[in-house]
Amino acid sequence: MTSVKHLQLTLAIMKPHVVSSPFSLHDIRRTILDNGFYVVRSKRQTIKLEQAEQFYREHKTKFFYNRLITFMTSGPSEAYILAREDAISVWRRLMGPTKVFQCQLSNPDSIRAKHGLTDTRNATHGSDSDESVRKEVSIMVPQFCFDHWKQIEEPMFRNGRVQFNDKQFLHSAHES
């Protein structure tokens, strides 16, 4: 008896300085696709203060909190719900370490090494666990339904029954 390997979801956020740089955004999007991710949802938005405060609540007592909140609400970001086997660990490996200077030395080909500016403006965010994915998606893409994904969409994605829309940077499931 063989078990079915389900696709895992992760949340990826392109931070405001990346979204304002067409070269950086295009390069990171290409990295996502080249590494076998499906883009299940794609949403461009300027994050509201309340969203940012909720999203980064765990950092509230840290010295960089106000700087992070100010930056994340400063302009449009893009949130992607990505799917593939081992999505969380693969996305985090592609991003590289949080600290950009360290990343440039230890992982020079990573997203943060190439597109990060500072530890706050480190280009991208990625969930660190399945629990974090659920919490973070509920803040950034609240209309996403995990049950619908698991029951209806995931089997179609897993079986390759998807189409990609380059303009929307989004895969969509289709019956065939």
By annotation, the residues acting in catalysis are 125
Report whether 120 belongs to an annotated binding site. no
Is 98 annotated as a binding-site member? yes
Distance CA(108)–CA(86), nearest Å, equals 22
Q: Which residues contact 141 (CB under 8 A, 6 or more apart)?
A: 11, 41, 43, 79, 81
164 known member of a binding site: no
| 60 known member of a binding site | no
Residues 6+ apart with CB under 8 A from 83: 7, 8, 9, 10, 37, 38, 40, 154, 157
Distances (CA, A) of 40 to 48, 72, 107, 161: 23, 22, 27, 13
Confirm whether residue 92 is marked as ligand binding. Answer: yes
Is 112 marked within a binding site?
Answer: yes
Which residues fall in the annotated binding site?
15, 64, 92, 98, 112, 122
Which residues fall in the annotated binding site for ATP?
15, 64, 92, 98, 112, 122
